[in-house]
C-alpha cells in the first residue's frame, strides 16, 4: 500500500458518467437533480450536528465579544471592539500567548521526536513479536488515563517531597530537590514535560502505522544501491512518512493549544504567571472575574489563531 | 439491462433512506428533551426541590441524606433531590446555571461568591422570604447582606486556628505553642532546623483556587485586629498593618521556614504535609481534625489561636469559612425552598449538622454536641468564643479575583522580584478598580 | 560473517536498551499510580517512598466496587462512550462515503469547515454550549453528553474514514451499482464489510476520547446518576482532602476497558491507521 496519496477530498475519478443511453434522456433532469443531492444527503447528519452544536455556540461567543456585561446583566450594551483592545493590551494576555507558543511548539516537537524514535524501535525486525507487543502496551499506557488523573499523578510525583526529588537527591547526586511545578523558572518546562508524557502515544501509534505501510520493496531497492541504515532512514523512511508527520504535527499543535484541564489542575497558571496559557487566561476571565465579554473576545482571538493552523492543514491536504 | 429509470428510483430511494436517518436522529434529540427536563415539576401536590451543594461528600457517608429524609418526614409534601458536586467545580456550575436560569432551587454558597450571584440576580433576597414566612432571624449568628438585603445564611462555620504538631515542636525545643509573631518565627526556625524534609510552616498560594490569601495570609492581619478595608468598604492595602503582615510573611520566607512548593501549593497539599509531619504548624480549618486523625492516628497535635503582633492585646479575629445557603431567584418554589433553609437552621438540625461537620452552628441557640466529638474541637470552641469571626472577603464583589490579584503580587515579593511596598501599591490599584 | 552476527547482536542490545528506557519513561508513573492505589492514605508521602508498604491493601478497590453510586459512574461511562462510538461511526461512514465517492460544488468548503471545527478551543464554548444544551432540554441527560462528544470526535473520525475509503478501489462499489443496487446498498454491503480495520481504528479512537472527556462531562451533568468516571475521580478530591488511594484505584479501574479494547484490537487498530488514517 502506497503512502503517496491523498487528499481525502479528491475522489477517484468517476468512470461511469458516460453510460447514457437515449432511453434515459427523458428522466435526465430528475436524474440529474437526484444525483446532485445524494452526496448532500450523506453529509446531512454531519452538517446538522455541526451547525447546531458548533456553529451556533461559536456565533454566540462572537456576539458576546462585542458587548459589555454579557450574562451578568440582563441587557448588555454593544461596545464594538473595546473588549478586543482590552484583551490585546493586557500584559497577562501577552504572557499567556508567549507561554502557549512555547508550550505547544516544544510539546509538538517532542511528540514528533519521541513518537518517531519509539515507533522505529517498536518496528524493528530485531526483536520478537511478543516482546514488541509487550512494549507496545507499556508505551500506550499514558494514553489510557483521563487528564484529571494525569494531573494528580504528576502533582504527586513532582511534589517537592515526592518520588522524583527523592530519586534525584538519593540515587542521583542532586544536593537539593527542585520545586518543579512551583518554581517560576521550571514550572513551564515541568508542565510541558507532563504534556509530552501524556500525548506521545497517539503520535507513536500513528507513526508506527505509517512505518508499517512503507513497502519493503523500497528498502530492498535502497539496500541494493548500497544504502546503510542511516541512509535508508533519510532517503526512504522520512520521505515516505512525511505526510503523516506533517499532518500529525499540525493536528497536535491544534490539540495542544486547547489543553486546559491539565494546566488548571497542576499549576492553575502559576507560579506568578509562568504557566498562564490562553486557555487558563480565558477561563479566569470568565469564571473568576465574571468578565464574560473579555473572555469571549479572548476566545475569539484563540479561535482565529487556531483557524490559521487549520488553514495550513487544509492547504496541506490540497497539495497532496 | 438496467434502465436508467431504475437508477433514478434507486437514487431517490437512497436519498429517502438518508433523510430518514437524519430525521430519526432529530427525533432522538427531541425525545431526549422530553425525557430529560421535566422531572422537577410538581406532581400531585408534592414539590421536589433541587439542592446543589458540596457538603454531602464531605460529611460521613449517608448522613446528609438522612437529614433530608427527616425534612421530608416533617414536610410530607416536599421532597429534596440532592445535587452533590466537588467543591472546586461547584462555583463554575453555579455560574453556568445562573447564566442559563437553571439554578437549582436551593444552593450551597461560599461567602466569597455571594456578591457576584446577587448582582447577577441569580439568588433571591432572603429578607423578603423571611418576612413572608414570618421567620425570626434573631436566632441566626450571622447573615450575609448586600445593600442591606440578606442573600446568604451561613449554616455551618469553620474556623481556622493554628494547628501545631506537638512532637515536632518538642523535638525542636519549643515547649509552648507560639502566641506572638516573633515567637512563631523563632519556633518555625527551630522546627526547620530539624532537617530532613521538615519545615516550620506551609503557605498554599496556588492561583487556581487562591483562598490561601484569605486563610493563610490575611488571617495574620485579622488576628491582630487589622483590616484590609476602609470603614466604607474600599481597599486599604497600604496601611501599616497590612504592610506589617506581608513583611512578616516575607520574613518567614526569607528565613526559609516555609515548606517548598508554596507558589502552586493547594489547600489539600497543606493538610497533607501537616498530616505526614512535614510541617510543624499550619493555619487550617477545624473541619480537618477528623481527616488528619484518620490518615495519621499517631500524630500528636493541638490547636491554638493564630499568633498576633507582639504588642497586641485586643480580641483576636479568627478567620472562618462557611457552608452558606441561598435560594435561587428562578425557583418556582421559593416558599418551600425557604422551608428547607429554616429546617437546616433550626436549633436541633443545625446542632446535629455542625457536629457531623466539625463546625460551629449558624444558629446562635444551637450547641454542638461535644460529647461525641474530638476534645480539640472543644478547645477550638473556646478560642472561637474568646475572639471574633473575621473574614473580610465574605460579601465582596469578585472576591476570588481580589484574592488572585493579591496572590500574584505577593508571589512577586516572595520570589524577590518586587519590594513589599510595590506589591501593596499594585494590589491596592487593582483592588480599587473592583471595590469602587 | 561472524562480525555481522555480532553487530546484529549489538544492535539488538541497543534497541532493547532503548526500548527499556522508553518503557521506564512511559510506565513508571503508571506503576507508581498502581502502587499508590494499594497504600493507606497516610502513607502516600512516606519518606523514603516505597513501592509496597506494610499496609498493602485492596481496601480502595473494595470501597469502589462495593459502592453502587461509584459503580454507576462506570455504567454511565459505558453508555456514553459506546453510544458515542456507534453514532460517530455511523455518521462518519455516511459523510466519508459522500466525500470519497462524490464530487459536488460545496465539497471543499464543507470539508474545510469540518477540519476547522477541530480548531475550536472547547473551553471557549462552555458557556454558550451550556445555554444551548439547556435550551434543547438535554441538560443532565445521556443524549446531551453523547451529542456533545460526537461533535468533538466526528471531525477526526470523518478524516480517518474518508482516507480509508479512498484506499478502496472505486470499482468495488461501482460493480455492485451496475447490477442495479443503490449506492446505499453498495456502501453497507460492499464497502463497510471490508472497512472493518478502519472502523476499528476510528472506534477505538472515539471510545477513548469519550471515555476520558472531562470538561463537558463535568459541565453538562449535575447528578451523580449521570456523571462519568473522570468526574467520579474528581469527586474524590474534596474541598479539604484527597482520597489518594481511591482516586488511583478508580483511575486504574477506569483505564481497564480502554486497555482491554486496545489489547483485543491493537493489530487491527494499527492496521486501520496504516491503510487510512495516517494519510489524512
Tell me, rounded to whole angstroms, the distance of Cα A233 from its chain centroid. Answer: 26
A36, A37, A53, best to mutate vs chain C, most C CBs in 10 Å = A53
- Interface pTM, i.e. ipTM: 0.86
List, in order, residues 6 or more apart from C178 with CB less than 8 Å away: A16, B2
Q: Which residue in chain B is spatially nearest to A19 when comparing CA positions?
A: B4
In this prediction, residue B30 carries a pLDDT of: 41
Q: Please, what's the b/e burial string for A1-15 (b: 16 or more CB within 10 A of its CB; e: otherwise)?
A: eebeebbbbbbbeee
B4, B415, B417 member nearest A24 (Cβ): B4
Work out the burial of residue B189: count CB atoms within 10 Å of its CB; fewer than 13 is exposed, 13-18 middle, 19 or more buried.
middle
In this prediction, residue C74 carries a pLDDT of: 92
CB contact under 8 A, B261 and A159: yes
Q: Where are the domains of chain A?
A: 84-319
CATH code of C73's domain = 1.10.3720.10
pTM of the predicted protein model: 0.84
In this prediction, residue A6 carries a pLDDT of: 34
In a domain, B260, yes or no: yes
In a domain, B189, yes or no: yes
Contacts of B267 in chain C (CB under 8 A): 239-240
* Nearest CA-CA distance, residue C126 and chain A, Å: 9
B96, B101, B263, B329, best to mutate vs chain A, most A CBs in 10 Å = B263
Residue with the three cell numbers 458515542: C84
CB contact under 8 A, A5 and C279: yes
| Domains contained in chain B, number | 2
Q: Please tell me what DSSP assigns to residue B263.
A: G
In this prediction, residue B23 carries a pLDDT of: 44
CATH code of B205's domain = 3.40.190.10
In this prediction, residue B44 carries a pLDDT of: 58
Average pLDDT, integer, range B33-53: 63
Minimal CA–CA distance to B117: which of B405, B434, B396?
B396
C167, C214, C269 member nearest A1 (Cβ): C167
Domain of residue B329 covers 47-158+321-389
In this prediction, residue C75 carries a pLDDT of: 93
User: Is the Cβ of C126 closer than 8 Å to some Cβ of chain B?
Assistant: yes
Average pLDDT, integer, range B74-78: 93
Q: Do B180 and B61 fall into the same domain?
A: no
In a domain, B9, yes or no: no
The model's pLDDT over B194-253, given as tens digits with 9 standing for 90+, comes to: 988 899 999 999 988 888 999 999 999 999 999 999 988 899 999 999 999 999 999 999
* Nearest CA-CA distance, residue C77 and chain B, Å: 17
Contacts of B99 in chain A (CB under 8 A): 71, 292
Average pLDDT, integer, range B123-130: 94
Tell me, rounded to whole angstroms, the distance of Cα B258 from its chain centroid. Answer: 24
* Nearest CA-CA distance, residue B6 and chain C, Å: 7
3-state secondary structure of B283: strand
Q: Please tell me what DSSP assigns to residue A23.
A: G
A184, A270, A292 member nearest B206 (Cβ): A270
Q: Do B154 and B255 fall into the same domain?
A: no
Residue with the three cell numbers 427525533: B27
Q: Do B194 and B181 fall into the same domain?
A: yes
- Domain spanning A84-319, CATH class: mainly alpha
In this prediction, residue C139 carries a pLDDT of: 84
In a domain, C99, yes or no: yes
Reading chain A (320 residues) residue by residue, the pLDDT tens digits are: 333 333 344 444 443 433 444 444 445 566 666 667 888 889 999 999 988 888 888 898 899 899 887 776 767 888 889 999 999 999 999 999 999 999 999 999 999 999 999 999 998 888 888 888 899 999 999 988 888 889 989 988 998 888 888 888 888 777 778 889 989 899 999 999 999 999 999 889 889 888 888 888 888 888 888 888 888 888 888 888 888 888 888 888 888 888 888 998 888 887 888 999 998 998 888 877 778 889 889 989 988 888 888 787 777 766 65
Q: Are B362 and B345 in contact (CB under 8 A)?
A: yes
Q: Do B305 and B343 fall into the same domain?
A: no
3-state secondary structure of B317: strand
* Nearest CA-CA distance, residue A296 and chain C, Å: 7
Name the band, by pLDDT with cuts 50, 70 and 90, for residue C1.
Answer: low
* Measured distance CA(B190)–CA(B202) in Å, rounded: 15
CB contact under 8 A, A299 and C121: yes
Q: Using CB atoms and an 8 Å cut-off, which of residues 239-258 of chain C contact chain B?
A: 239-242
Minimal CA–CA distance to B59: which of B94, B84, B90?
B84
Q: Among residues of chain B, what percentage have pLDDT more than 70? A: 90
B338 has a pLDDT exceeding 90: yes
Q: Using CB atoms and an 8 Å cut-off, which of residues 54-93 of chain C contact chain B?
A: none
Cell representation of residue B413: 515579593
Average pLDDT, integer, range C261-280: 69
| Domains contained in chain C, number | 1
Domain of residue C186 covers 58-279
In a domain, C36, yes or no: no
Q: Do B166 and B154 fall into the same domain?
A: no
In a domain, B41, yes or no: no
In a domain, C13, yes or no: no
CB contact under 8 A, B260 and A179: yes
Q: Are C197 and C273 in contact (CB under 8 A)?
A: no
CB contact under 8 A, C104 and A124: no
List the end-to-end C-alpha distance of chain B, in Å, as a whole number: 85
In a domain, C226, yes or no: yes
* Nearest CA-CA distance, residue B265 and chain A, Å: 8
A155, A265, A290 member nearest B116 (Cβ): A290
For residue C168, what are the CA distances in angstroms to A12, B212, C92, C195?
10, 60, 16, 9
* Nearest CA-CA distance, residue C270 and chain A, Å: 5
Q: Please tell me what DSSP assigns to residue A160.
A: T
Amino acid at each position: 500500500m502506497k503512502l503517496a496519496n491523498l487528499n481525502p477530498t479528491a475522489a477517484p475519478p468517476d468512470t461511469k458518467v458516460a453510460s447514457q443511453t437515449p432511453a434515459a434522456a427523458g428522466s435526465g433532469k430528475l436524474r440529474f437533480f437526484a444525483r446532485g443531492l445524494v452526496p448532500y444527503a450523506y453529509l446531512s447528519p454531519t452538517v446538522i450536528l455541526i451547525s447546531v452544536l458548533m456553529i451556533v455556540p461559536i456565533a454566540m461567543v462572537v456576539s458576546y465579544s462585542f458587548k459589555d456585561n454579557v450574562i451578568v446583566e440582563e441587557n448588555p450594551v454593544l461596545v464594538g471592539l473595546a473588549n478586543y483592545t482590552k484583551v490585546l493590551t493586557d500584559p497577562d494576555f501577552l504572557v499567556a500567548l508567549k507561554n502557549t507558543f512555547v508550550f505547544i511548539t516544544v510539546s509538538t516537537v517532542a511528540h514528533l521526536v519521541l513518537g518517531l524514535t519509539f515507533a522505529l524501535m517498536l518496528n524493528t525486525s530485531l526483536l520478537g513479536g511478543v516482546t514488541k507487543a509487550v512494549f507496545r502496551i507499556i508505551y500506550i499506557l499514558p494514553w489510557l488515563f483521563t487528564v484529571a488523573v494525569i494531573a494528580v499523578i504528576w502533582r504527586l510525583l513532582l511534589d517537592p517531597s515526592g518520588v522524583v526529588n527523592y530519586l534525584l537527591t538519593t540515587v542521583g547526586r542532586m544536593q537539593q530537590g527542585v520545586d518543579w511545578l512551583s518554581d517560576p523558572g521550571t514550572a513551564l518546562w515541568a508542565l510541558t514535560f507532563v504534556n509530552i508524557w501524556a500525548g506521545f502515544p497517539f503520535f507513536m501509534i500513528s507513526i508506527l502505522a505509517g512505518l508499517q505501510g512503507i513497502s519493503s520493496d523500497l528498502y530492498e531497492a535502497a539496500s541494493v544501491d548500497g544504502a546503510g541504515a542511516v541512509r535508508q532512514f533519510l532517503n526512504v523512511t522520512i520521505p515516505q512518512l512525511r505526510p503523516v508527520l506533517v499532518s500529525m504535527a499540525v493536528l497536535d499543535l491544534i490539540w495542544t493549544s486547547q489543553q486546559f484541564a491539565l494546566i488548571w489542575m497542576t499549576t492553575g497558571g502559576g507560579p506568578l504567571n509562568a504557566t498562564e496559557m490562553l486557555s487558563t487566561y480565558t477561563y479566569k476571565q470568565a469564571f473568576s472575574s465574571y468578565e464574560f465579554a473579555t473572555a469571549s473576545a479572548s476566545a475569539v482571538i484563540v479561535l482565529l489563531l487556531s483557524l490559521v493552523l487549520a488553514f495550513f492543514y487544509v492547504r496541506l491536504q490540497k497539495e497532496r | 439491462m438496467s434502465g436508467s429509470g431504475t437508477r433514478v428510483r434507486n437514487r431517490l430511494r437512497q436519498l429517502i433512506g438518508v433523510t430518514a436517518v437524519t430525521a430519526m436522529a432529530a427525533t432522538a434529540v427531541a425525545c431526549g428533551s422530553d425525557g430529560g427536563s421535566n422531572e422537577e415539576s410538581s406532581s400531585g401536590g408534592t414539590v421536589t426541590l433541587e439542592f446543589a451543594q458540596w457538603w454531602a461528600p464531605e460529611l460521613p457517608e449517608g448522613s446528609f441524606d438522612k437529614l433530608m429524609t427527616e425534612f421530608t418526614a416533617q414536610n410530607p409534601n416536599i421532597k429534596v433531590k440532592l445535587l452533590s458536586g466537588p467543591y472546586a467545580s461547584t462555583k463554575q456550575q453555579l455560574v453556568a446555571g445562573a447564566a442559563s436560569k437553571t439554578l437549582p432551587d436551593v444552593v450551597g454558597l461560599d461567602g466569597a461568591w455571594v456578591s457576584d450571584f446577587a448582582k447577577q440576580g441569580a439568588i433571591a433576597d432572603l429578607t423578603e422570604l423571611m418576612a413572608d414566612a414570618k421567620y425570626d432571624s434573631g436566632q441566626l449568628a450571622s447573615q450575609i447582606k448586600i445593600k442591606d438585603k440578606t442573600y446568604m445564611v451561613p449554616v455551618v462555620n469553620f474556623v481556622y486556628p493554628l494547628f501545631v504538631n506537638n512532637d515536632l515542636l518538642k523535638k525542636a525545643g519549643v515547649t509552648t505553642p507560639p502566641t506572638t509573631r516573633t515567637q512563631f518565627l523563632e519556633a518555625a526556625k527551630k522546627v526547620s532546623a530539624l532537617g530532613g524534609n521538615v519545615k516550620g510552616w506551609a503557605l498554599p498560594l496556588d492561583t487556581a483556587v487562591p483562598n490561601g490569601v484569605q486563610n493563610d495570609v490575611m488571617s495574620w492581619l485579622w488576628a491582630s485586629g487589622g483590616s484590609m478595608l476602609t470603614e466604607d468598604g474600599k481597599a486599604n492595602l497600604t496601611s501599616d498593618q497590612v504592610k506589617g503582615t506581608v513583611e512578616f510573611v516575607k520574613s518567614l520566607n526569607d528565613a526559609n521556614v516555609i515548606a517548598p512548593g508554596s507558589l502552586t501549593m493547594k489547600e489539600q497539599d497543606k493538610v497533607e504535609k501537616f498530616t505526614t509531619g512535614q510541617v510543624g504548624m499550619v493555619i487550617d480549618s477545624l473541619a480537618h481534625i477528623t481527616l488528619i486523625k484518620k490518615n495519621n492516628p499517631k500524630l500528636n497535635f493541638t490547636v491554638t489561636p493564630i499568633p498576633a503582633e507582639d504588642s497586641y492585646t485586643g480580641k483576636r479575629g479568627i478567620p472562618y469559612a462557611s457552608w452558606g445557603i441561598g435560594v435561587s431567584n428562578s425557583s418556582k418554589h421559593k416558599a418551600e425552598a425557604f422551608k428547607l433553609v429554616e429546617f437546616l437552621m433550626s436549633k436541633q438540625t443545625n446542632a446535629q449538622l455542625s457536629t457531623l461537620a466539625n463546625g460551629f452552628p449558624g444558629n446562635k441557640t444551637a450547641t454542638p454536641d461535644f460529647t461525641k466529638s474530638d476534645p480539640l474541637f472543644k478547645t477550638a470552641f473556646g478560642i472561637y468564643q474568646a475572639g471574633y469571626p473575621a473574614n473580610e472577603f465574605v460579601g465582596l464583589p469578585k472576591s476570588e479575583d481580589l484574592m488572585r490579584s493579591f496572590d500574584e503580587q505577593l508571589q512577586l515579593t516572595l520570589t524577590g522580584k518586587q519590594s513589599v511596598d510595590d506589591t501593596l501599591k499594585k494590589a491596592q490599584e487593582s483592588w480599587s478598580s473592583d471595590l469602587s | 560473517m561472524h562480525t555481522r552476527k555480532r553487530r546484529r547482536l549489538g544492535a539488538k542490545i541497543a534497541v532493547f536498551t532503548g526500548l527499556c528506557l522508553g518503557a521506564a519513561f512511559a510506565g513508571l508513573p503508571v506503576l507508581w499510580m498502581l502502587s499508590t492505589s494499594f497504600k493507606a492514605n497516610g502513607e502516600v508521602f512516606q519518606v523514603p517512598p516505597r513501592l509496597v508498604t506494610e499496609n498493602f491493601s485492596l481496601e480502595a478497590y473494595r470501597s469502589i466496587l462495593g459502592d453502587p453510586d461509584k459503580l454507576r459512574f462506570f455504567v454511565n461511562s459505558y453508555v456514553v462512550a459506546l453510544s458515542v462510538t456507534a453514532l460517530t461511526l455511523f455518521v462518519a461512514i455516511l459523510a466519508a462515503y459522500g466525500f470519497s465517492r462524490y464530487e459536488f460544488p460545496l465539497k471543499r468548503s464543507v470539508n474545510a469547515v469540518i477540519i476547522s471545527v477541530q480548531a475550536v478551543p472547547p473551553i471557549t464554548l462552555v458557556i454558550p454550549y451550556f445555554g444551548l444544551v439547556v435550551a434543547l432540554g438535554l441538560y443532565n441527560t445521556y443524549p446531551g453528553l453523547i451529542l456533545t462528544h460526537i461533535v468533538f470526535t466526528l471531525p477526526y473520525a470523518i478524516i480517518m474514514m474518508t482516507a480509508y475509503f479512498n484506499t478502496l478501489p472505486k470499482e468495488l462499489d461501482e460493480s455492485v451499482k451496475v447490477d442495479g443496487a443503490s449506492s446505499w446498498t453498495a456502501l453497507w454491503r460492499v464497502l463497510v464489510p471490508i472497512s472493518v480495520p478502519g472502523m476499528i481504528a476510528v472506534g477505538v479512537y472515539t471510545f477513548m476520547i469519550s471515555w476520558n472527556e472531562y470538561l463537558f462531562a463535568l459541565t453538562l451533568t449535575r447528578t451523580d446518576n449521570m456523571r462519568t468516571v473522570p468526574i467520579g475521580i474528581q469527586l474524590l478530591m474534596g474541598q479539604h482532602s484527597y482520597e489518594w488511594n481511591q482516586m488511583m484505584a478508580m483511575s486504574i479501574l477506569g483505564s481497564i476497558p480502554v486497555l482491554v479494547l486496545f489489547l483485543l484490537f491493537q493489530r487491527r487498530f494499527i492496521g486501520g491507521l496504516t491503510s487510512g488514517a495516517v494519510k489524512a
